[in-house]
Amino acid sequence: MKFFFLNVLEISGMAFLCILLGCLSISLGFFFFIILLLSLILLRKRRFSLPAIVNEYESESYFIAPVSGKIIRISQTEKFKEIVIKMGLFDGWGLYLPCRSRVLNFGSQAQGKTFIPFWGVSKKLNLDLYDYDFIDFEGKKFYFYIYFYKKFKGNALFLEIDSGDIGQVTSCLGLFTCGGVIRLLVPNELNILVRKGMRVKGARSLIGEIEEPGVGNEHNGNHR
């Protein structure tokens, strides 16, 4: 198990500090122990084996959940299918590559409103009115896009990638802190295998597949 910001020396130092403070004050030692425990849980990089169905076929045809959380919206437009996932505060904040692909671009887009409603994303809520960070990807068989929406200032996107990077499925891209909301735009040809209300695990849950090879592989630069 690897961690985003902590190496072995830092973890050992924090553990020693907890013991030292615990000798001076049980309550203070317990407080720092909780901080250390939460850091290890929330800032971990998960390393899952792929589902058996993905191992049996070419992974370019399959789409894995990029984050852990609850699916709160699935819809379709003329150009894309939309999957919105609400990340839980304690689900883990890791961001993972849904399929073997290349990073085309990433950045931020100002739309007018900074934070989406804290209580959640309703069916009628227009996400196009809210600021977001984004990453554009080019897979072997289709293009797809991930948008990141903030509910409060604690939501922050930290990336370990650069434009042009090519990654394998479930490669770690970075983290999105404090349980934000992500929006996936995938081609209409992607067969969605999940439904609203389901919980998915980042780098583990299979959420879609392309049934016909080569479809959906047309880049649309006007997706924003």
- The pLDDT tens digits for 208-222 are 988 665 455 455 555
The per-residue pLDDT for 57 is 43
Q: Is the pLDDT of residue 204 over 90?
A: no
The per-residue pLDDT for 171 is 86
CA distance 62 to 108: 27
CA distance 43 to 31: 18
Residue 147, Cβ neighbours under 10 Å: how many?
Answer: 21
CA distance 112 to 140: 34
**Angle, CA 18 vertex, CA 13 and CA 23 arms, to 5°:** 125
Q: What average pLDDT does the segment 102-123 reach?
A: 86
Q: How confident is the model at residue 13 (pLDDT cuts 50, 70, 90)?
A: confident
Q: Is the pLDDT of residue 180 over 70?
A: yes
pTM of the model: 0.77
The per-residue pLDDT for 121 is 72
Q: What average pLDDT does the segment 51-61 reach?
A: 53
Q: Is the pLDDT of residue 45 over 70?
A: no
The per-residue pLDDT for 168 is 85
What b/e string do you get for 98-122 counting C-beta neighbours within 10 Å, with b at 16 or more?
Answer: bbbbebbebeeeeeeeeebeeeebe
The per-residue pLDDT for 30 is 80
The per-residue pLDDT for 197 is 93
CA distance 150 to 180: 5
Give phi and psi for 49, each to the nearest 5. -80, 150
Q: How confident is the model at residue 172 (pLDDT cuts 50, 70, 90)?
A: confident
Q: How confident is the model at residue 53 (pLDDT cuts 50, 70, 90)?
A: very low
Closest of 32, 50, 42, 29 to residue 98, by C-alpha: 50
Which has more pLDDT, 156 or 5?
156
